[in-house]
Amino acid sequence: MQRAAYSQQLIALIQPPFSLTKVLPYSSTNRNRPSPLHEAASDLIKAYLPAGRPLTPTMHLRDEVGLDSLEFVELAMRLESRFRVTLPDEQIGKWQTVADVLHCLDQFVPQQVSQAV
């Protein structure tokens, strides 16, 4: 565990900081903003972060966002409720980073729902 934390610190030192708006796909109508689906999902994830801490796609859900197992399940349920979709348990189990969550939502949230968010 200490080795993983040390590796994360090294990576953070050698890589420039990432902005959520620079990494996430943009909506087709406004190239300067992330898609409404990603914005809404990011807002749900941000609720678990300490106030003032920025959210990045590379953040590890357990180690950096700080989700414990109960909060992890709670996040999945909130996302399913918010987007009116059932996410497969095997996909949820693969979530490691914020980007993993957003990629999963891209796959399972119907296009018409993601645009109406």
Rounded CA gap, 31 and 44, in Å? 22
Residue 40 CB coordination number (10 Å): 17
Lowest-confidence segment of 12-16, 30-34, 78-82, 98-102 by average pLDDT = 12-16
Does residue 15 form part of some domain? no
Q: How far is CA 111 from the centre of its chain?
A: 18
Does residue 101 form part of some domain? yes
**Residue 102, pLDDT above cutoff 90:** yes
pLDDT tens digit sequence for 54-75? 999 999 999 999 999 999 999 9
Does residue 63 form part of some domain? yes
Rounded CA gap, 99 and 56, in Å? 8
Does residue 29 form part of some domain? no
DSSP H helical ranges for the chain: 2-14, 20-23, 36-46, 69-83, 89-92, 98-108, 111-116
Side-chain half-sphere of 87: how many Cα atoms within 13 Å?
A: 27
Does residue 7 form part of some domain? no
Query: Is there a contact between 34 and 26 (Cβ–Cβ < 8 Å)?
Result: yes
State the residue range of the domain holding 86: 34-116
Q: Which two tokens stand for residue 95?
A: 């979530």
Query: Is there a contact between 61 and 67 (Cβ–Cβ < 8 Å)?
Result: yes
**Residue 45, pLDDT above cutoff 90:** yes
Domain count, the chain: 1
Does residue 60 form part of some domain? yes
Does residue 55 form part of some domain? yes
Q: Which two tokens stand for residue 110?
A: 């119907």
Domain with residue 101: its CATH number is 1.10.1200.10
